[in-house]
């Protein structure tokens, strides 16, 4: 089932996500719905916050880049992260133009460190500890921010953020042209 994606300005996007356990109600259905919702919106990552649930769950899927020779590291990069904790971030910060399904039509340069070590549970609650680097790490860092109640626009230069203010406000009101279902906090 395709769920509406929560737009910028909704307080749920600012909540710190709580850990869940295997008894979380309808977890497998939620994960399946999140994949469907993300693929429908042509996203490569989605956090539970973006469908209205402030829990430590996010998914990634680089399948739509499967044929893109620029990103071979995204081949087969499809994962579920539950109760994730980034243990370490290393390397020299690099910039990349990020976007977000909750903040449509805006892309901004964000600096992040290239390599992360992260522990998490998969959809079967099997524990993992893995290292990711480059674009996969970037996608995880972006989604991980969501489960901590942060957004990529928090990480851009204050002047850029000021310049974006009215466009962000328009998104909250639903004044944005998109081809997927969203829920806007200030839509009249």
Q: How far is CA 114 from CA 35, 83, 147, in A?
A: 25, 22, 20
3-class SS at 89? Answer: strand
Q: How far is CA 139 from CA 55, 81, 166, in A?
A: 18, 12, 26
The least distance separating Ni ion from the CB of residue 23, rounded to whole angstroms, comes to: 27
Question: Is 89 among the residues known to form the active site?
Answer: no
The site for Ni ion, by CB under 5 A, has a size of 1
Nearer to Ni ion, 72 or 180 (CB): 180
Tokens representing residue 138 in the block: 């970037």
Q: Kindly write out the interface string for residues 75-114 of this chain, putting x where it contacts Ni ion by CB under 5 A and - elsewhere.
A: -------------------------x--------------
Q: Residue 102: name the closest of 13, 2, 37 by CA.
A: 13
Q: How far is CA 147 from CA 23, 81, 85, 91, in A?
A: 19, 11, 10, 23
Instruction: Kindly name the residue from 66, 69, 98, 143 that is annotated as catalytic.
Output: 143
Q: Which residues of 53-65 are buried (b: 16+ CB within 10 A; e: fewer)?
A: bbbbbbbbbbeeb
Q: Kindly write out the interface string for residues 37-66 of this chain, putting x where it contacts Ni ion by CB under 5 A and - elsewhere.
A: ------------------------------
According to the binding rule CB under 5 A, does residue 168 interact with Ni ion?
no
CA distance 127 to 120: 6
The least distance separating Ni ion from the CB of residue 47, rounded to whole angstroms, comes to: 7
Nearer to Ni ion, 121 or 140 (CB): 140
Contact set for Ni ion, span 144-163 (CB under 5 A)? none
Nearer to Ni ion, 69 or 142 (CB): 142
Binding residues for Ni ion, rule: CB under 5 A, are 100
Catalytic residue set? 143
């Amino acid at each position: 089932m395709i769920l509406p994606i929560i737009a910028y300005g909704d307080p749920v996007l600012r909540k710190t996500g709580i850990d869940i356990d295997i008894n979380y109600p309808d977890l497998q259905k939620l994960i399946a719905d999140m994949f469907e919702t993300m693929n429908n919106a042509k996203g490569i990552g989605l956090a539970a916050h973006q469908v209205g649930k402030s829990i430590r769950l996010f998914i990634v899927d680089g399948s739509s880049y499967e044929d893109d020779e620029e990103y071979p590291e995204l081949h087969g990069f499809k994962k579920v992260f539950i109760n994730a904790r980034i243990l370490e971030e290393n390397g020299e910060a690099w910039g990349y133009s990020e976007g977000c399904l909750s903040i449509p039509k805006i892309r901004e340069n964000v600096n992040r460190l290239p390599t992360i070590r992260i522990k998490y549970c998969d959809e079967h609650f099997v524990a993992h500890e893995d290292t990711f680097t480059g674009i996969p790490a970037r996608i995880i860092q972006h989604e991980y921010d969501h489960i901590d109640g942060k957004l990529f626009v928090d990480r851009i230069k204050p002047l850029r953020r000021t310049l974006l203010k009215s466009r962000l406000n328009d998104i909250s009101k639903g004044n944005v042209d998109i081809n997927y279902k969203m829920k806007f906090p200030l839509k009249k």
